[in-house]
Each structure stands twice: as C-alpha cells, then as structure tokens.
Structure 1
Amino acid sequence: MKKATFLAAAIALLGFTSIDVNAQAPQAAHQAQQQTDNKEKISKEQLPEPVKAVLDHEAYKEWTVGDIFKVKPVEGAANAKTLYEISLTNKEGQTGTILLDETGKDASTEEQL
C-alpha cells in the first residue's frame, strides 16, 4: 500500500513538473524572438566613431572582426541604449564577443537587453 501511494505521488510530481516546463517554454521562445528582432547585422563602417576607436586600439590589433550586430533596446526598457555586439577571432582561432555601447564603453555587465 505504501509503495502504491509513493508511486502515485511520484507520478503526480512528474506531471506537475512537466506542466510547469511547458508553461515556461512559450515565454522563453518569445524572449528569444524579441532579442532576434532587435538585432541588425551591420558593417564596421556603420559603427559609431567611439566603437571604431575601441576596435582600432592596441588590445584588439591581433583580432579579426567578424559579425557585427546593432542591438536596439527593447521597447519600454528604461534607460536602454543601442548596443553593438562584435564577434572577434585571433590568429590561433580563438573567438570572442564584445558588447559595447554607443560611446565605446563595455556594456557586457549592464542589463540593457
């Protein structure tokens, strides 16, 4: 009898967990779609001068610029700025991405997206 009660409780718990996961999935998909909608691929020439100056700095001379995305702020976000997501690759094949605001400052620690 105890085994049957335990088994029923375990099945019920699994059922609640799967319902919760399914309820969160559409929200996560919506957020991912919203972030994609706010990204626009641009060229290095389209970057603001302060961002170009950062890429021309000594720290990035060994890196090759790859894809560049202009990330527009989410509608309704307070104090949101346009950001620039820049993919870089060095001669050893290591890759990295930097996130800069319009003034060339590191924006990777700010929650603006």
Structure 2
Amino acid sequence: MKKVTVLAAAIAFFGVTSFSANAQSTQANTQQTQTAQSQDSNREKISKDQLPAAVQETLKAEAYQAWEVKDVYKVKPAEGSAETAKATYEIQFTNSEDQQAFARFNEDGTVITGE
C-alpha cells in the first residue's frame, strides 16, 4: 500500500510540475510574440535606393561584393525612446550559393550587427 501511495504522490508531483512549466512557457511565448509585433510595427520595407548614401557606400565595400541585397527594412526608433535615437537599416543578403546573411546599419553606414 505504501508503494501505491508513493507512486500516486510522485505522479501528482510531476503532473503539477509539468503543468507549471507549460504555463510559464506559454507566458514567455506570448511576451515574445508581443515584442516581435511591436518591433514589426516599427519596420518598414524600403528599396535599396532609399538607403542613406552612407549605407549605400558601405555596401560597395569588398566585403559585400559577393552578396546580393535581398530585402531592406528601415527600423524606426521605438516610441518613447530618446529624442536622439535614429533609424537603423536591416539588410538581408543572399550569395550565389544561396547562403543567407543579415546586417544592421545605422544612418552613417556603420555596421551595428551582422550574421
């Protein structure tokens, strides 16, 4: 009888633990989705010709010669951010081997991030 009681308690414990982990996971996913949606509302798809001249000059560098610009997005600063915050530009690239790359530039053509 003791074994049955211990087994039932273990099953109940793992069931509650699993339910709690599921609830936390769902909450985290909801927060990530909301963050992504707010970031998407600040993104505007633009053409390569609409990039600032400094970013266009940076793209002429040897490091980008093997890459073709696929998509370009202008990302506006989030509402409530500092008045000095400026737009950034996200660029997705592909090369002749169908590899993908991503880079983010500020208005003066400096690379902020790249993958």
Q: What TM-score, normalized to structure 1?
A: 0.85
Q: If you compute each CA radius of gyration, which structure gives the higher value, 1 or 2?
A: 2
Q: CA deviation at 1:47?
A: 0.6
In the other structure, the counterpart of 1:49 is: 53
In the other structure, the counterpart of 1:11 is: 15
In the other structure, the counterpart of 1:87 is: 92
Q: Tell me, what secondary structure is at the counterpart of 1:85? A: strand
In the other structure, the counterpart of 2:40 is: 36
Structure 2: 5+ residue stretches without partners? none
Query: C-alpha distance in 1, partners of 2:17/2:97?
Result: 49
Segment of structure 1 superposing worse, 57-66 or 75-84: 75-84
Against the structure 1 CA distance between its residues 25 and 58, is the aligned structure 2 distance closer, same or farther, given a 3 Å change threshold? Answer: closer
The alignment-based identity, stated in percent, is 38
In the other structure, the counterpart of 1:106 is: 111
- The root-mean-square deviation of aligned C-alpha atoms, in Å, is 1.7
Deviations 1:13-61 (A, max 9, x none): 1121122222223222111111111110111111111100001112212
Q: Tell me, what secondary structure is at the counterpart of 1:93? A: coil
Aligned residues: 109
